[in-house]
Amino acid sequence: MKYEVKKDAVNAKELFYEGTLEQMIETEVNLPEYYCDVVKVLKCTVCPVVASTQISGNRVVIEGNAKFSFMFLGEDNQVYSYESSYPFSKSTEIKDLDEQDSVIAEARTDYVSCRASGKRQIAANATVSISIKVYRVKTLEIVTDCSIKGIQMKKKEISPYSFIKVEQKGFTVSDTCEIQNFSGTVKRIVKSDATAYLTDVKTINGKMMISGEMQVKSLAVTGGDEPDIIAVTSIIPFSQIFEISGVDENSICDVSVKVDHVDAQLQGSETSAAIVYNIKATALICIGEVKNIQAVSDAYSTAKATETKKLQGNLKVIKARTTEPYMFNSQVDVADLEIGKIIDISVVGLKKNLRTDGSKVYVYGSVEIGMLYAYNDGRISYAEKSVSFEYEKDTTLKAGAFECEANCECGGLSYSHASTDRLDIKAELKISLTVFEIESVDVLTDIEEKGDSEFKAKPASLVIYFSDPGETVWDIARKYNTTVEKIAVENNLTDDVIRERRMLLIPCV
Spatial CA neighbour of 216 closest among 262, 281, 267: 262
Closest CA to 83 of 229, 189, 228, 222: 189
My answer on whether 323 and 366 are in the same domain is yes
Looking at the structure, do residues 477 and 382 belong to the same domain, yes or no?
no
**pLDDT score of 223:** 82
140 has pLDDT over 60: yes
How far apart CA 277 and CA 220 sit, in angstroms, is: 14
Res. 460 pLDDT band, cuts 50 70 90: low
As a whole number, mean pLDDT of residues 430-454 equals 90
- Number of C-beta neighbours around residue 194 at 10 A: 22
Amino acid at position 278, single letter: N
Neighbour tally for 336: CB within 10 Å: 8
Asked, for residue 104, whether it belongs to a domain, the answer is: no
Which of 84, 9, 10 shows the shortest CA–CA distance to 315? 10
Q: Is 158 exposed, middle or buried (0-12, 13-18, 19+ CB in 10 A)?
A: buried
Mean pLDDT score across all residues of the chain: 92
Which residue would you say has higher pLDDT here, 508 or 167? 167
Q: How confident is the model at residue 71 (pLDDT cuts 50, 70, 90)?
A: very high
Mean pLDDT for the stretch of residues 9-14:
94
As beta bridge partners, residue 73 has 40, 79
Confirm if 99 and 55 have CB atoms less than 8 A apart: yes
Q: For residue 326, tell me if it sits in a domain.
A: yes
Give the end of a domain, one of 382, 404, 439. Answer: 439
pTM of the model: 0.87
| Better-predicted residue by pLDDT, 411 or 92 | 92
Is residue 348's pLDDT more than 80? yes
502 domain residue, yes or no = yes
Residue 147 has a pLDDT of 94
In one-letter notation, the amino acid at residue 439 is: E
Rg for the chain, CA atoms, rounded: 32
Q: Letter for the amino acid at 46?
A: V
Q: For residue 136, give Cα distances in angstroms to 17, 140, 189, 373, 403.
A: 9, 13, 45, 49, 18
Residues 327 and 404 in one domain: yes
Q: Which of these, 86, 88, 89, 25, lies nearest to 60 by C-alpha position?
A: 89
> What DSSP string runs through 362-384?
EEEEEEEEEEEEE-TTS-EEEEE
> Residue 186: what pLDDT?
87
Residue range 318-332, pLDDT digits in tens: 999 999 999 999 999
Lowest mean pLDDT among 105-119, 345-359, 448-462: 448-462
Length of the chain: 509
Same domain, 486 and 418: no
Separation between Cα atoms, residue 289 and residue 401, nearest integer Å = 20
Q: What is the pLDDT of residue 216?
A: 96
In angstroms, the CA 156 to CA 474 distance is 13
pLDDT of residue 508: 81
Spatial CA neighbour of 365 closest among 383, 347, 333, 391: 391
Q: What average pLDDT score do residues 168-194 get?
A: 90
The kind and range of the H/E element at 474 are helix 473-479
Evaluate whether residue 83 is within a structural domain. Answer: no
> What pLDDT score does 105 carry?
95
Confidence check: pLDDT of 272 > 60: no
Encoded amino acid at 347, one letter: V
Amino acid identity, residue 180? Q
Does residue 391 sit in the same domain as residue 460? no
Which residue, 348, 417, 420, 429, is CA-closest to 391?
429
Task: Specify the number of domains making up the chain.
Answer: 2
CATH of the domain at 473: 3.10.350.10
**224 inside domain:** no
SS3 state of residue 418: strand
Looking at the predicted structure, is the pLDDT value of residue 119 above 70? yes
Instruction: Give the confidence band of 269 by pLDDT, cuts at 50, 70, 90.
Output: low
DSSP labels, 338-367? --SEEEEEEEEEEEEEEEEETTEEEEEEEE
d(CA 408, CA 393): 14
> Looking at residue 438, what is its pLDDT?
94
In this structure, are 362 and 460 located in the same domain?
no
Last residue of a domain, one of 439, 466, 484: 439
Q: What share of the chain is helix, strand, coil (3-state, %, to 5)?
A: 5, 75, 25
Range of the domain at 487: 456-507
509: pLDDT strictly greater than 80: no
- Asked, for residue 145, whether it belongs to a domain, the answer is no
Q: Which residues pair with 229 in a beta bridge?
A: 221
Domain identity same for 329 and 380: yes
Confidence of residue 169 (pLDDT cuts 50, 70, 90): very high
Q: Is residue 248 part of a domain?
A: no
Residue 271, pLDDT score = 55
Containing 477, the helix (H) or strand (E) segment is helix 473-479
Instruction: Give buried/exposed letters for 115-153 (b at 16+ CB in 10 A, else e).
Output: ebeeebebebbbebebebebbbbeebebbbbbebeebbb
- Judgement on whether residues 328 and 420 belong to the same structural domain of the protein: yes
Helix (H) or strand (E) holding 230: strand 229-243
Using DSSP's 3-state secondary structure scheme, residue 96 falls into: coil
318/404 same-domain check: yes
419 contact partners, CB below 8 Å, separation of at least 6: none
AA letter at 481:
N
Measured CA to CA, the distance from residue 173 to residue 334 in angstroms comes to 36
pLDDT at 459: 64
493 shares its domain with 429: no
What one-letter code names the amino acid at 400? G
- Cβ–Cβ contacts within 10 Å for residue 226, how many? 6
Nearest to 252 by CA among 378, 358, 398, 405: 405
Burial class (CB in 10 A: 0-12, 13-18, 19+), 286: buried
Percent residues over pLDDT 70 in the chain: 98
Q: DSSP string covering 32-95, please?
A: -TTSPPEEEEEEEEEEEEEEEEEEETTEEEEEEEEEEEEEEEETTS-EEEEEEEEEEEEEEE-T
Question: pLDDT at residue 268 above 80?
Answer: no
Is pLDDT at 183 greater than 80 in this prediction? Answer: no
485 part of a folded domain = yes
Task: Decide which of 439, 467, 491 is a domain's last residue.
Answer: 439
Same domain? 402 vs 427: yes
388-414: average pLDDT: 93
Q: How confident is the model at residue 184 (pLDDT cuts 50, 70, 90)?
A: confident
* Residue closest to 107 by CA, chosen among 52, 50, 59: 50
Whether the Cβ atoms of residue 69 and residue 370 lie closer than 8 Å to each other? no
Residues 328 and 369 in one domain: yes
Say what the pLDDT of residue 309 is: 95
The pLDDT, as a whole number, for residue 457 is: 64
